């Protein structure tokens, strides 16, 4: 399972969402502070959206992963993302701890933990410093990210 996690992050560092999602079970449940809980195709589409977005921008985006551990049907990793937040142009260094559960050799549950207040301070500045640790900020952020995800999924659908 360590190889699965390593391959997942290696694909992410190459903006290769198609490879990333091959490591996800069809019943995947993903969760993080920015998107909340995403299930199945929505979780897969989130990685496609993020990778596509980073490819298009051509900005300095880097993923560094470490401390990969796996035992039985569980695993964990630490990863860090370095990028410019598109809405503000501010540099972000997000430190994330991930927990995984596996079923049938694939990731069925993936939870990313990071300090949303710290992220907001870096990405947004003074408003992030003041409000990034508050519940309404998290709710508003999740609403915005899920709106963007819905839009991405809708645009991906073949037109009839």
Taking alpha carbons only, the member of 97, 98, 110, 101 closest to residue 74 is 101
pLDDT for res 54: 78
Residue 120 or 61, more confident: 120
Give percent above pLDDT 90 in the chain.
81
User: What is the per-residue pLDDT for 53?
Assistant: 83
Nearest to 74 by CA among 97, 32, 102, 96: 102
Q: Which domains does the chain have, with CATH numbers?
A: 2-136 (3.10.450.50)
pLDDT value at residue 141: 94
Nearest Cα residue to 99 out of 88, 91, 107, 87: 107
**pLDDT exceeds cutoff 80 at 55:** no
Contact at 8 Å (CB) between 49 and 65?
A: no
Average pLDDT score, the chain: 93
Which pLDDT score, from 0 to 100, does residue 158 have? Answer: 72
* Predicted local confidence at residue 58, as pLDDT: 59
Residue 34 above 90 pLDDT? Answer: yes
Per-residue pLDDT for 8 more than 90? yes
At 57 the pLDDT is: 62
Which pair of structure tokens corresponds to residue 62? Answer: 């880097």
- CA-to-CA distance for 58 and 15, rounded, in angstroms? 11
Whether the predicted pLDDT of 120 surpasses 80: yes
Q: How far apart are CA 105 and CA 159, in angstroms?
A: 35
Tokens of 82: 């370095």
pLDDT band at residue 140 using 50, 70 and 90 as cut-offs:
very high
pLDDT at 125: 92
* Rg of the chain in Å (alpha carbons): 16
């Amino acid at each position: 399972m360590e190889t699965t996690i390593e391959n997942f992050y290696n694909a992410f560092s190459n903006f290769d969402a198609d490879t990333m999602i091959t490591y996800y079970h069809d019943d995947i449940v993903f969760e993080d502070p920015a998107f909340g809980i995403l299930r199945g195709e929505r979780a897969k589409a989130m990685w496609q959206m993020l990778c596509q977005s980073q490819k298009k921008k051509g900005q300095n985006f880097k993923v560094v992963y470490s401390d990969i551990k796996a035992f039985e049907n569980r695993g964990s990793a630490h990863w860090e993302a370095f990028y410019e937040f598109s809405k503000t142009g501010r540099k972000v260094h997000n430190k994330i701890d991930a927990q995984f559960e596996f079923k049938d050799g694939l990731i069925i549950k993936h939870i990313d933990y990071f300090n949303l207040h710290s992220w907001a301070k870096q990405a947004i500045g003074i408003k992030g410093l003041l409000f990034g640790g508050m519940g309404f900020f998290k709710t508003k952020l999740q609403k915005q990210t899920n709106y963007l995800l819905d839009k991405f999924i809708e645009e991906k659908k073949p037109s009839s």
